[in-house]
Amino acid sequence: MKKMTISTLVKQKQNGDKITALTAYDASFAKLFDEQNVDVLLIGDSLGMVLQGQDSTLPVTTAEVAYHTRSVAAGVNAAFVIADMPFMSYSTPAQAYENAGQLMAAGASMVKLEGGAWLCETITGLKQRGVPVCGHLGLTPQSVNVFGGFKVQGREDDKARQLIEDALALEAAGAQMLVLECVPTKLGKAVTDQLSIPVIGIGAGVHTDGQILVMHDMFGVSANYMPKFSKNYLAETGDLRKAVALYIEQVKNGQFPGPEHSFDK
């Protein structure tokens, strides 16, 4: 297996080869996913909910993400490793530089930040300092209290236009990948078509360049609830490795996500 890089992922977008991604939090599962040829592993601040039992991602710290990043990196040979920057760990550029440095030193190849055009200065500064950045738009869980809950974003025309403008701004600032969460399928396609960087969807429809799932959702063991955009692959296969292989197959051939996992409007 060749080591995945951002150049490899961009080439997959250009070739129409869907990108597969999963969250991971330890070496054992990271190794399992890597051996099944998952392209991208994300150490998500979702760990606050699926590992710690919190009701949001907000309590997660940079030190906790760094710990899990070291664990995941130890189990990986080929997958591209992205680490989430937690809530309020990048409120200023200087703060972002310091915290991103910790995550890169722990083994990440890229960091992920939630937010729109207000992050452009930070993204440019991180790239100049050798830190690749993945943006995150749509439902950004760190803003759950602003949104008033976990709700689909971009349903109104003006909100959809703003999201597209934010996506273009992030790319222009130097973001090299984008996660797009919980938006209507039509908007997911519009964003993907307008960007030259890979767009990874979760609840953003089938037309994005790739898909990501929280591993606990894919295995049906999430502590809280199963989101509409997720699918329990373990229930269908009865085996962890077969579940991952089926997920990869269905993302690659466009079977997942289906209409039942997506939002029309």
The beta strand positions in 105-258, using DSSP E, are 110-114, 133-138, 177-181, 199-202, 210-213
Q: Residue 144: pLDDT above 90?
A: no
Q: Residue 148: pLDDT above 70?
A: no
151 — pLDDT class (breaks 50, 70, 90): confident
Q: Residue 264: pLDDT above 90?
A: no
How far apart CA 166 and CA 146 sit, in angstroms, is: 18
Asked if 54 contacts 48 with a C-beta cutoff of 8 angstroms, the reply is yes
Q: Is 64 among the residues known to form the active site?
A: no
pLDDT in the model for residue 209: 98
The predicted-structure confidence for 72-83, as pLDDT tens digits, reads as follows 999 999 999 999
The predicted-structure confidence for 87-101, as pLDDT tens digits, reads as follows 999 999 999 999 999
Q: Smallest Cα–Cα separation from 90: which of 68, 70, 118?
A: 118
Strand partners for 211: 20, 201
**pLDDT, mean of residues 186-202:** 98
Structural domains in the chain plus CATH codes: 6-261 (3.20.20.60)
Q: Residue 194: pLDDT above 70?
A: yes
Query: Which residues are annotated binding-site positions for 3-methyl-2-oxobutanoate?
Result: 45-46, 84, 112
142 — pLDDT class (breaks 50, 70, 90): confident
Query: Which residues are annotated binding-site positions?
Result: 45-46, 84, 112, 114
The predicted-structure confidence for 53-78, as pLDDT tens digits, reads as follows 998 899 999 999 999 999 999 999 99
Q: Residue 149: pLDDT above 70?
A: no
Q: Which range (13-22, 38-47, 207-216, 221-230) has the least confidence?
A: 221-230
Out of 35, 121, 181, 260, pick the active-site residue.
181
**pLDDT, mean of residues 34-52:** 96
CA distance from start to end of the chain: 40
pLDDT in the model for residue 83: 98
Query: Which residues are annotated binding-site positions for Mg(2+)?
Result: 45, 84, 114
Please provide the average confidence, as pLDDT, over all residues in the chain. 95
